[in-house]
Structure 1
Amino acid sequence: ANDVVVQGSRLEKGSSEWEKPYVLADTPDLPDCNPVLFIDGKDRLRLVWIAVIAAGWENSLLRTKFSEDYLNPGPPVWNWQDVIILKPGEEFPKIIKKRFDEFDWDRGWAEYAPEYEVMIEEAAKDPRKRQTGWMPRIQPTTLPSGRILLPLYSDGFNVSLCAISDDGGDTWRASGPMVGMGPIQPTICRRKDGTLVAWMRDSGDMPPRVMESTSSDDGETWTAAVDTDIPNPGSSLTSLVLDSGEWVLVHNDTEEGRRSLSCKMSDDEGKTWKWERHLEKHPVNTFAYPNMIQTKDGLIHVSYSYKEEGKGASIKHVAINKDWVKQGD
């Protein structure tokens, strides 16, 4: 709906009540969706979101604004806003074809996959289509070099990539694509050896699993996205590297439905998940679209959509620590 806006609220340290919500972004006569809020490389509060054009996700316009005056109650004082136009180059369709060629189609999608492959490859050759429809969902990852990797995905291409900034968030360019059978909404963690791991929502073939792609060149290029053994019912997930080195993953840990929300923790950089505790589990209520940060006091803050049967949808915020996760259910 055209009256959809991006809203914000504050929870002051030590308080248990959130401020009254206020508008963060409102593009006249267009829906504003998929907001991601973070501190950029110049200590500015930066908002990235989309304005949806012609009621199609594939036509979405990636927008951004930043504030240098954001510590007081109420809405930030915005300094500037702009549109991020990414321009995946002529290598984009070539990489998509190369990655598809790496797949073994002797699977459930074997009959449909060639048509899907051709459709995506042909669309990728159109420079206009390559420049629109890139949408955020998860907070960015900042590398030791200061490079910011903002995960993005496209419902038009059914692939993902990163917007890369090497100047603190002032300018952005496109990485190579993360290609597979429907890998979208990536969340990215960095291993100590520099390898980047992107986990993604599965919007493709069976079985429904979290998908994984890796990069060994600081996010410039990515391997073909393949299934992990982690269940995923076609829902978004989020990950985080803690200050202490453990990795945390929050996701719907089922093959169908969003009635269970799991928090897993790994001490071997996401290769195995040693601990698990559920944030939510209910036969009817649903929980989805988690996001996560860690504050300086070590607390892990998780927010997610929370819908109780017979009631309207809301956003729930919880604060936990790693010891809570280690206790298990």
Structure 2
Amino acid sequence: MRNLFPWQLGWTPLLLLNLFPNLSQAEPQYEAQLIFPLESWHNHGSCIVQTQEGDLLACWFHGSGERKSDDVMILGARKRKGDASWSQPFLMADTPEFPDTNCCMIIDPNNRLWLLWPTIQANLWESALMKYQISENYHGDGPPVWNQEKVLHIKPGDSFPDEVREKTAAYLSHQQLTPDMIQWAHDNFQQADDKLTRRLGWFTRAHPKILDQQRMLVGL
């Protein structure tokens, strides 16, 4: 799909890699910069967007671990256009005593900022509950001012169990059938048949996409 924003960015935890087009050369120029000093805590699942003003806004999850750590929260930082460094990290989202992980952001055609992330209910990835926040006021210093926070309910259709069976069978047709593989397939079928199980456990990783300037496609 066509990227709506005329820039590309790559990143790793704590490290931001910017790609800037150079009009005088065919080869791009790269610049690497820490958003904040290195530390021992876990920082992962980062995402970045560029505002209409040219500022950069990054988010990531931060804590003593991942899904098994109830202190994990979503942090963010801002780099103003023309500034040499990033702001101090600030809180973007936190569900007290639950891990908030794997966040992503997008700015929609109405210039609203969306933050999407899963809150882990039982310290297992399969217990993830998707949430999102929307802000129209995210240009000032510090965290965005969120207008609303909602749960993103996931409801696979009635054909979902059959689709899981078909795709699992197609995958196994190219594998050596071991007891572990057979058990994996059995677990897949059980989970797909259970209504609650198939409505939880979804979470974001990549940037959402805007389709036709009207619809948002969120990869889970």
**Aligned residue pairs: how many?**
152
CA distance in 2: counterparts of 1:68 and 1:87, whole angstroms? 28
Quick check: 1:69–1:77 contact (8 Å CA) kept in 2?
Answer: yes
Quick check: 2:105–2:208 contact (8 Å CA) kept in 1?
Answer: no
CA distance in 2: counterparts of 1:90 and 1:147, whole angstroms? 23
Instruction: Report % sequence identity.
Output: 34
Matched, 1:59 2:123: no
- Measure how far apart 1:111 and its partner are: 5.0
CA distance in 1: counterparts of 2:174 and 2:167, whole angstroms? 16
Matched, 1:50 2:107: no
Cα deviations by residue, 1:152-201 (Å, 9 ceiling, x for unpaired): 1xxxxxxxxxxxxxxxxxxxxxxxxxxxxxxxxxxxxxxxxxxxxxxxxx
**Mapping 1:120-159, distance limit 5 Å:** 120-144=188-212, 146-152=214-220
Matched, 1:74 2:137: no
**Helix, strand or coil for the counterpart of 2:126?**
helix
1:280 is aligned to none
Matched, 1:4 2:68: no
| Structure 2 CA distance for partners of 1:109 and 1:16, relative to 1, 3 Å | farther
**Helix, strand or coil for the counterpart of 1:136?**
coil
| Structure 2 CA distance for partners of 1:95 and 1:80, relative to 1, 3 Å | same
- Measure how far apart 1:143 and its partner are: 2.2
| Alpha-carbon RMSD | 1.7
1:114 is aligned to 182
Quick check: 2:105–2:115 contact (8 Å CA) kept in 1?
Answer: yes
Matched, 1:84 2:152: yes
Cα deviations by residue, 1:93-113 (Å, 9 ceiling, x for unpaired): 011112223345353455543
**Mapping 1:1-329, distance limit 5 Å:** 1-103=69-171, 105-108=173-176, 112-144=180-212, 146-152=214-220
Task: Normalising by structure 1, report the TM-score.
Answer: 0.44
Which sections of structure 2, spanning at least 5 residues, go unmatched? 1-68
CA distance in 1: counterparts of 2:123 and 2:177, whole angstroms? 29
CA distance in 2: counterparts of 1:102 and 1:78, whole angstroms? 44
CA distance in 2: counterparts of 1:103 and 1:29, whole angstroms? 38
| Structure 2 CA distance for partners of 1:146 and 1:117, relative to 1, 3 Å | same
**Structure 1 stretches of 4+ moved >6 Å:** none
CA distance in 1: counterparts of 2:79 and 2:213, whole angstroms? 31
User: Greater relative contact order (Cα 8 A, min sep 6): structure 1 or 2?
Assistant: 2
Quick check: 1:90–1:125 contact (8 Å CA) kept in 2?
Answer: no
Give the AA of the match of 1:11. Answer: K
| Structure 2 CA distance for partners of 1:109 and 1:17, relative to 1, 3 Å | farther
Quick check: 2:98–2:120 contact (8 Å CA) kept in 1?
Answer: yes
Quick check: 1:105–1:113 contact (8 Å CA) kept in 2?
Answer: no
| Structure 2 CA distance for partners of 1:20 and 1:135, relative to 1, 3 Å | same
| Structure 2 CA distance for partners of 1:42 and 1:125, relative to 1, 3 Å | farther
**Helix, strand or coil for the counterpart of 2:218?**
strand
Give the AA of the match of 1:27. Answer: T
**Helix, strand or coil for the counterpart of 1:34?**
coil
- Decide which moves more: 37-46 or 51-60: 37-46
2:5 is aligned to none
Looking at secondary structure, tell me which structure has more strand per residue: 1
**Helix, strand or coil for the counterpart of 2:182?**
helix
Cα deviations by residue, 1:25-76 (Å, 9 ceiling, x for unpaired): 0101111111101113432101001111121111111111110111122111
Quick check: 1:68–1:79 contact (8 Å CA) kept in 2?
Answer: yes
